Amino acid sequence: MDPLRYVLLLGAALFALAAWIRYQDDFKEWIIELGLQHFWNGIYVLFTVGVLSMILSFVGCIGAINESPGLLRTFMVLNGVMFILTLAGAAYTLDHGIEYSKLSPWLKNRLLQLVDGYEHNTRDRRIMDMIQEFVSFIIPYSIEYHIEANLLNIFQLLGAALFALAAWIRYQDDFKEWIIELGLQHFWNGIYILFTVGVLSMILSFVGCIGAINESPGLLRTFMVLNGVMFILTLAGAAYTLDHGIEYSKLSPWLKNRLLQLVDGYEHNTRDRRIMDMIQEF
């Protein structure tokens, strides 16, 4: 079922990304004012693929549960089609939306039209004024802004990655079963720390964003101090997890004693017998 789960998650991510690009207010305003609506065509393709991929994951689930070769073949073929459509949508978007693509000559001609119409066309004058205001605002602050924005994005991505990793370790079915059966639940303590740090790091990145936007020294100092605390907690959680979960750590003598207990209880304890049988099969 894991591949089906990944198809669902990838479809949801693609849908969310396409929806954000299509409906983000500032970006949407520029597209409309410049008359660049044809850029949306690729986004609509990605949007549709995201929705269909999520629907297809349920078709695949039904096929897997019912062990239906027909449904599973349909699922695989349609996923191949979705993959091709994703490449097509991404190619169209890039070919009409980045520097040195078809956007550059189109934008050059559009700006010349706006300059020509500045004196006698109210709409062209408004768009050019918007562009001049944007350029005059962004140039003095662009370097500082991009450094701050990139640092905050890195914090947010690291927090999301840490959260996802901790959640996967905690809830991955086979690993979870072994932990429970062996009575190794104290291993989760380090994972819970990493899980919490991931969530708090994502929240803190928004605090940092607010501090940067409002140019608030107090919020930015709070952000830096708390991120230092998060870093220390990350090291502590990782150290605890490694100290209780790898070879030559505290896991080794604990596991040796646990196996001896299981061997002793094999004949008269049903649970110990089941665990030992699982280990031998594995």
Query: How far, in Å, are 20, 26, 104, 143 from residue 148 at the CA level?
Result: 22, 20, 28, 9
Quote the pLDDT of residue 139.
45
Quote the pLDDT of residue 220.
74
The residue behind tokens 């030992």 is 276
Quote the pLDDT of residue 174.
72
> What is the Cα–Cα distance from 68 to 279, expressed in whole angstroms?
32
> What is the Cα–Cα distance from 62 to 116, expressed in whole angstroms?
60
Quote the pLDDT of residue 75.
82
Going through 71-116 in order, the beta strands assigned E by DSSP cover none
Quote the pLDDT of residue 279.
65
Q: Which two tokens stand for residue 190?
A: 């380090």
Considering the domain boundaries, does residue 8 fall inside one? no
Considering the domain boundaries, does residue 63 fall inside one? no
Considering the domain boundaries, does residue 237 fall inside one? yes
Considering the domain boundaries, does residue 127 fall inside one? no
Considering the domain boundaries, does residue 208 fall inside one? yes
Contact 11, 48 (CB under 8 A): no
Considering the domain boundaries, does residue 198 fall inside one? yes
Structural domain including 237 reads: 150-244
Quote the pLDDT of residue 57.
84
What digits encode the pLDDT tens for the residues 34-57? 778 888 888 899 889 988 888 888
Q: What is the domain count for the chain?
A: 1
What Rg value do the Cα atoms of the chain yield, rounded?
27
What digits encode the pLDDT tens for the residues 96-149? 776 667 777 877 788 788 888 888 888 777 777 777 766 554 444 444 555 555
Contact 170, 195 (CB under 8 A): yes
> What is the Cα–Cα distance from 54 to 199, expressed in whole angstroms?
26
List the one residue out of 231, 27, 35 whose CA is nearest residue 123: 35
List the one residue out of 21, 17, 12, 24 whose CA is nearest residue 96: 21
Considering the domain boundaries, does residue 222 fall inside one? yes
Quote the pLDDT of residue 243.
76
- The SS3 call for residue 95 is helix
> What is the Cα–Cα distance from 166 to 193, expressed in whole angstroms?
9
Considering the domain boundaries, does residue 265 fall inside one? no
Quote the pLDDT of residue 249.
61
Residue ranges of the chain with pLDDT lower than 50? 137-143
Contact 240, 193 (CB under 8 A): yes
